[in-house]
Amino acid sequence: MKIFNVVGARPQFIKAAVISRAIAQTSGIKEIIVHSGQHYDENMSSIFFEEMSIPKPDYLLSINGLNHGAMTGRMLIEIEELILKEEPDYVIVYGDTNTTLAASLAAKKLGVKIVHVEAGVRNFDESMPEEINRYLVDRISDLNITCTWLGKENLEKEGFMSSRINSEVYNFGDVMYDAALFYSGLAEQSSSILDQLEIRNSNFVVCTVHRASNTDSEEALRSIVEMLNELNREVTVVLPLHPRTKSRVQKYGLSLEMLCIDPVGYFDMLELIKASKFVITDSGGVVREAYFFGKKSLFLLDKPVWPELISEGVCTCSNPSSTELKVGLEKMKTKEGDFTRSLYGDGTAGNKIIELILKDFFRI
């Protein structure tokens, strides 16, 4: 059996690492890693691959810096060529990026089975490109793997678990939780980020901002920066500065009065989250990692990507306006979050996915 493991954005490296490890423990599967290059920085990409012992990509397409249509179109063309060349039996895709959509379309049109990891996520905001990608990829995938009960419920409401849609749906948990459990100890041993920043015994908050809706709007980014600057007067705010965010900060002439650092690898980020007081982010991955390690979070979007976290009281959503951010921050601080339930499975999602693919392949 031959499997394409397709990645393009850094959070997908984390998810792919879990699947790669499960494949390596299984005989009879040849893995081919395809990296679209959607988010590609040689230093940052190599850090992720080295830390997590992910095999180097068999194909690096280097498609980035384009508008949505051009990017997705070029990826579709090039991934289609690779599928024709390699003839995989399955294509595994993750989440909701343009890479995910392009690989899925290429596979579907060539009759190759699609496994969508992190299916069924909905925030019902179709102004977000990611939401469009979620709808389309779920609809054409053969095996949809959800992270939580809500993802499966969303797909059931859309008619997936019926004769109307020829797709199987499984809730195996979150491969990012698998990764957090597996790599946490390694991160603690190898990361020196807390000592480098001299914050090991400090009271600090970790923050990430990268979404276009928050960075391409001067009003939104100004409100976020002002909130963080004010917060930094009472507790240190650590901000790994995303390249897009950095360029917009310079463009809008904003002043960052906090501890700004270069983007960090996976291990450093885990250590920052684990040692932080709480987390402020617009990342659907980071907000889950905060939950994994018992940290409350402020999510910088008004519609949650993971409503499960809202219902548990561990995450608060806020529209990025100055007034609402202040209200959201205070609300998050005072909430008593419930971390007792295991929303994202038991840490064995990766193995269950590969077991499912084997059963499907051999029609067991």
Proportion of the chain above pLDDT 70, given as a percent = 98
Q: How far apart are CA 348 and CA 331, in angstroms?
A: 34
What is the CA 296 to chain-centroid distance, rounded?
18
Task: Please give the positions annotated as active site.
Answer: 210
Let me know if 283 is exposed, middle or buried by CB neighbors in 10 A (0-12, 13-18, 19+): buried
Amino acid at 158: E
The answer to whether residues 146 and 175 touch, using CB atoms and an 8 Å cutoff, is no
CA–CA separation, 279 and 282 (whole Å): 10
Separation between Cα atoms, residue 283 and residue 263, nearest integer Å: 14
Residue 249 pLDDT class (50, 70, 90 cuts): very high
Q: What pLDDT score does 162 carry?
A: 83
What pLDDT, in 10s, does the model give residues 178-205? 999 999 999 999 999 999 999 998 899 9
Of the candidates 140, 294, 318, the residue with the CA atom closest to the CA atom of residue 227 = 318
Beta strands in 120-269 (DSSP E): 143-146, 168-171, 204-208, 236-240, 259-261
Distance CA 96, CA 112 (A): 19
At 316, list the tokens: 């608060």
Q: Confidence class of residue 41 from pLDDT cuts 50, 70 and 90?
A: low
Q: By three-state DSSP, how is residue 363 classified?
A: coil
Distance of CA 24 to the CA centre of its chain: 23
Query: How many whole angstroms separate alpha carbon 238 and alpha carbon 354?
Result: 37
Nearest to 96 by CA among 5, 214, 217, 8: 8
Closest CA to 102 of 121, 122, 123, 81: 81
The domains of the chain, with CATH numbers, are 2-174+345-362 (3.40.50.2000), 186-334 (3.40.50.2000)
- Residue 332 in this model has a pLDDT that exceeds 80: yes
Average model confidence (pLDDT) across the chain: 95
Question: Closest Cα to residue 16, out of 103, 84, 86, 87?
Answer: 103
pLDDT band at 42 (very low <50, low <70, confident <90, very high): low
Question: Please, are residues 313 and 341 in contact by the beta-carbon 8 Å criterion?
Answer: no
- Residue-level length of the chain: 364
Taking the CB of residue 319, how many other CB atoms lie within 10 A of it? 15
How distant is the alpha carbon of residue 180 from its chain centre? 13
The whole model's pTM is what? 0.94
Banded pLDDT at 163 (limits 50, 70, 90): confident
**Backbone φ, ψ for residue 279 (5° rounding):** -125, 140
Neighbour-count burial of 336, counting CB atoms closer than 10 A to its CB (0-12 exposed, 13-18 middle, 19+ buried): exposed
Give the tens place of pLDDT for each residue, 311-327.
Answer: 999 999 999 988 899 99
- What integer pLDDT is reported at residue 40 of this predicted model? 67
Task: Give Cα separations from 364 to 19, 42, 348 (angstroms).
Answer: 21, 42, 21
Please give the full DSSP string across 153-191, using - where no structure is assigned: HHHHHTTTTSTTS--EEEE---HHHHHHHHHHHHHHHH-
**For residues 335 and 173, which has the higher predicted lDDT (pLDDT)?**
173
Question: 62-116, pLDDT tens digit by residue?
Answer: 898 899 999 999 999 999 999 999 999 999 999 999 999 999 999 999 999 999 9
User: Could you tell me if residue 345 is left (phi over 0), alpha (psi between -120 and 50 degrees) or otherwise beta?
Assistant: left
